[in-house]
């Protein structure tokens, strides 16, 4: 079992070992809460939870042959925040620091007394929430 786990980590590391990361920009989370995911999917494992206004580095990933394999087309960016590297929905990011609810109403937000698990679940709710016009008639 230990050999399988070690082999998995080595193959994951080698996928990015032969690639180049180029910083595209620094963006900010615009939603109240959000997640950095392990894969470019809203339902993938969450690596960390972020709150509104958190700075996030957005990268372009290319392999040695110059092929880009970031997932811009699928609506996700390859990003880092702190020690975490993963994917976040591009629609969650803005280029200017947003005027966040937490900053506008700090007394109200602090009175909510949210636990870390609350941050996690609210962030997951944002991941599953779809915005836009309804096609229902």
In Å, how far are 122, 125, 131, 132 from 135, measured between CA atoms? 26, 21, 12, 9
% of the chain beyond a pLDDT of 90: 26
Structural domain includes residue 67 = yes
Tell me which residue of 117, 118, 104 sits closest to 52, measured CA to CA: 104
CATH, residue 50: 2.30.30.40
Query: Quick check: is 1 in a domain?
Result: no
- For residue 104, count CB atoms less than 10 angstroms from its CB and return exposed for 0-12, middle for 13-18, buried for 19 or more: exposed
Domains of the chain: total:
1
pLDDT band at 66; cut points 50, 70, 90: low
pLDDT of residue 21: 84
Is residue 82 a part of any domain in this protein?
yes
- Structural domain range at position 34: 19-128
Tell me if 11 is assigned to some domain: no
The lowest-confidence range among 7-16, 23-32, 56-65 is: 7-16
* Residue 2 within any structural domain of the chain: no
pLDDT of residue 13: 44
pTM, 2 dp: 0.69
Position 119 in a domain: yes
User: Angle at CA 15, nearest 5°, toward 79 and 123?
Assistant: 30
Which residues, in sequence order, are CB contacts of 21 under 8 Å at separation 6+? Answer: 59, 60, 61, 78
User: For 70-106, what is each residue's pLDDT tens digit?
Assistant: 555 578 999 999 999 999 999 889 999 999 877 777 7
State the DSSP string of 96-124: S----HHHHSHHHHHHT---HHHHHHHHH
For residue 49, tell me if it sits in a domain. yes
71 falls within a domain: yes
């Amino acid at each position: 079992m230990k050999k399988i786990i070690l082999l998995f980590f080595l193959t994951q590391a080698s996928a990015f070992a032969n690639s180049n990361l180029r910083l595209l920009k620094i963006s900010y989370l615009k939603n109240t809460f959000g997640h950095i995911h392990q894969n470019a999917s809203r339902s993938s494992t969450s690596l960390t939870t972020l709150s509104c206004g958190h700075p996030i580095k957005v990268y372009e990933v290319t392999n040695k042959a110059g092929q880009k394999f970031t997932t811009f087309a699928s609506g996700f960016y390859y990003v880092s925040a702190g020690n975490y590297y993963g994917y976040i929905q591009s629609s969650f990011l803005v280029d200017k620091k947003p005027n966040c609810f937490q900053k506008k109403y700090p007394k109200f937000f602090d009175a909510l007394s949210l636990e870390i698990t609350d941050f996690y679940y609210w962030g997951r709710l944002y991941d599953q929430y779809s915005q836009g016009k309804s096609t229902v008639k």
